[in-house]
Structure 1
Amino acid sequence: MSGPVIVCVGNLVYDEVFRVETLPSAGIKTGCTGYSERFGGPAATAAVAICRLGGQAAFWGRVGADAAGDLGIATLRGHGVDCAGVVVKPEGRTLRAIVFVDDRGERMIVSNRYSLAPDADGLPADGLEQAGVVLADTRWPAGAHIAFERAKAAGIPRVLDADGGSVADNQRLIEAADHVVFSSEGLRDHAGEGEPEALLRHCAGNGRTVFAVTCGSGGSLWLVDGVLAHVPAYRVAVRDTTGCGDVFHGAYAMALAEGRPPVEAARFASAVAALKAERGEGWNGMPDRASVEALMARGATG
């Protein structure tokens, strides 16, 4: 592995994944066509993606003192992620989620985000010396904010995966970041209903932070220095969209650390996320750089 370290701050989640023909609706019972157990979480998944692409990633997050936490740390390390910044909380429980994936690859997730205390106890006091970018999700706002403030003081770029969390916590993180990438749902939750461009401009105000929103097969919109750019998605046969946004953020942060400008970094991230959707298989389905470059060379975008 080479290049600067991308420090990924946030959640590790133990997932139970049920394959179903169609996503369940209220008031029905349905069987599953497949079942697996694996790990996820935005920041942890981003870290694995970075390592698979040939980069260096460190995960700063929390697990409970339980079998799932032990296995999660071991699995991260097996993928090449530096876990020196992981905090084991004896009074908590490793986060868990139920994931439904249908035959089109769409997913629905029910997660327990509150089995660990919300404080920042145990966050590493240092570890940013070799960092090229700090990437944080919104699932551990106390830890993410401190990491962003330290990175800001050191002149290190800060990327926020803006999906979930409270408006107040997220606004605090947005103000500490210089690249804010919303999911479509995350943008609506934070800024209300409306056209994505208008919502991005509302969030940006007169600041110079890069704001963007990912729109699945619709690609992504980027507001950079007041100029809007659309980055199309790559066309693939989708198997499972679980974790694709997390992979996108990790690849984007890695590309920034390598010196790519935001829109170019977004094109790279779009290709990585597309291949992840095509492959599925959780962390084991991460694409390598050669596969990503081959897809980009083909230029198969929607």
Structure 2
Amino acid sequence: MKVASAVTPQTPRMIAVGAVCSATIFQVETIAPPPAKLLAQRRVQLVDGMAISAAYAFARLGGRADIWSRIGDDALGVEVRKVLSDEAFDVSGLQVVPGAATSQVAIIMDRRGDRLVVPFHDPCADTRADWLPLQHLDGADFLHCETRWPEGAEVALRAARARGIPCMVDGDVAPPEVLHRLMPLADYAVFSDAGLAIYAGCEDVETALRCVGREHRGHVGATCGARGYAWLEQDEVRWVAAPAVKVVDTLGAGDVFHGALALALLEGCDVAAAARFACAAASLKCTRFGGRLGCPTRSEVDALVLTMT
């Protein structure tokens, strides 16, 4: 499925930096404790990753996206490149790492959307980022990074900041040292509630946002699942509630939020309007099985936003 149509020179362009993997999602009725054998009701195979999913949403909702990541020099890496290229991503920044295995992940998901995730990343894969095509930042409108490849994220963030390109970092669950390395480099520090708690050392979202906001020069916010999105504005915490939906699959919902938020900001929305748009996109994604492939269309998101107050 191609992620964008009617692309013009004026179409917003985002570069997404992060890890990429081949994912298989199995849907089961319930996830039983071991030992157990479960019969899957549905299965989908896709190329996945936090940055990939954000880029997919950005493009599907009206932008275009480049992918900067790493794959192994194995048959799976060839397949990953072809899939992303077929989906109309620019993959010129997809680096082949000699002697490395392409990452894989198996995801077992129950009917409520709860899941068990089993990833494999080659521990011997070269993590250097000195090959990144930083010249391609010229002409880009936005940079989005996540924490699974911190070496690449840091290099790209510093280069983008030097060019005055707005940057967003997805502060999901990660080692504290990685979060503290990357989040200060973001113009838009958009955490998950769990990632925010790790970064701030505080479970209460509003208290944690104020704590981070005292040191961060840009936007600070947190995705909070069904509660919606919270962000700090002039030392006050504001909220946009997520619309109520029947949840089938939450995989990739936070990433869809990031991609939709970035696009809305580039289209000139203020933070509140951008957050409503992103909450609508993420909520609709949760109603559909298939990870990022459940990302809604622009017309679906726009229609849901009209119902939100």
Q: TM-score, normalised by structure 1?
A: 0.93
Alignment length, in residue pairs? 299
Q: Residue 43 of structure 1 corresponds to which residue in structure 2?
A: 51
Letter in 2 for 1:254: L
Q: Residue 4 of structure 2 corresponds to which residue in structure 1?
A: none
Q: Residue 257 of structure 1 corresponds to which residue in structure 2?
A: 266
User: Shift of the alpha carbon at 1:114?
Assistant: 4.6
Give RMSD over aligned pairs.
1.8
- The answer (yes or no) to whether the contact 2:253–2:292 under 8 Å persists in 1 is no
Give the alignment of 1:93-112 within 5 angstroms: 93-112=101-120
Q: Percent identity?
A: 37
Which digits, 9 at most, give the CA deviation of each residue in 1:32-86, with x for residues without a partner?
3233322210011111111111211111111111222222222222222111111
Question: In 1, Cα distance between the equivalents of 2:39 and 2:272?
Answer: 40
> What secondary structure sits across from 1:60 in the alignment?
strand
- The answer (yes or no) to whether the contact 1:14–1:95 under 8 Å persists in 2 is yes
- The answer (yes or no) to whether the contact 2:134–2:156 under 8 Å persists in 1 is no
Runs of at least 5 residues in structure 1 that lack an aligned partner in the other structure: none
Q: Residue 197 of structure 1 corresponds to which residue in structure 2?
A: 206
User: Shift of the alpha carbon at 1:224?
Assistant: 2.7
Q: TM-score, normalised by structure 2?
A: 0.91
Distance change >3 Å, CA 147–CA 24, structure 1 → 2: farther
Residue 53 of structure 2 corresponds to residue 31 of structure 1: no
- The answer (yes or no) to whether the contact 1:18–1:32 under 8 Å persists in 2 is no
User: Shift of the alpha carbon at 1:8?
Assistant: 0.4
- The answer (yes or no) to whether the contact 1:47–1:250 under 8 Å persists in 2 is yes
> What secondary structure sits across from 1:118 in the alignment?
coil
Q: Residue 3 of structure 2 corresponds to which residue in structure 1?
A: none
Q: 2:16 aligns with which of 1, 8, 25?
A: 8
Question: In 1, Cα distance between the equivalents of 2:38 and 2:269?
Answer: 46
Q: Residue 172 of structure 2 corresponds to which residue in structure 1?
A: 163
> What secondary structure sits across from 1:213 in the alignment?
strand
More displaced 10-residue stretch of structure 1: 30-39 or 91-100: 30-39
> What secondary structure sits across from 1:208 in the alignment?
coil
Which digits, 9 at most, give the CA deviation of each residue in 1:200-225, with x for residues without a partner?
22222243321111111111211133
Give the alignment of 1:1-302 within 5 angstroms: 1-2=7-8, 3-25=11-33, 27-34=34-41, 35-115=43-123, 116-299=125-308
Question: In 2, Cα distance between the equivalents of 1:220 and 1:28?
Answer: 38
User: Shift of the alpha carbon at 1:259?
Assistant: 2.1
> What secondary structure sits across from 1:126 in the alignment?
helix
- The answer (yes or no) to whether the contact 1:113–1:139 under 8 Å persists in 2 is no
Distance change >3 Å, CA 23–CA 219, structure 1 → 2: farther
**Deviation >6 Å, runs of 4+:** none
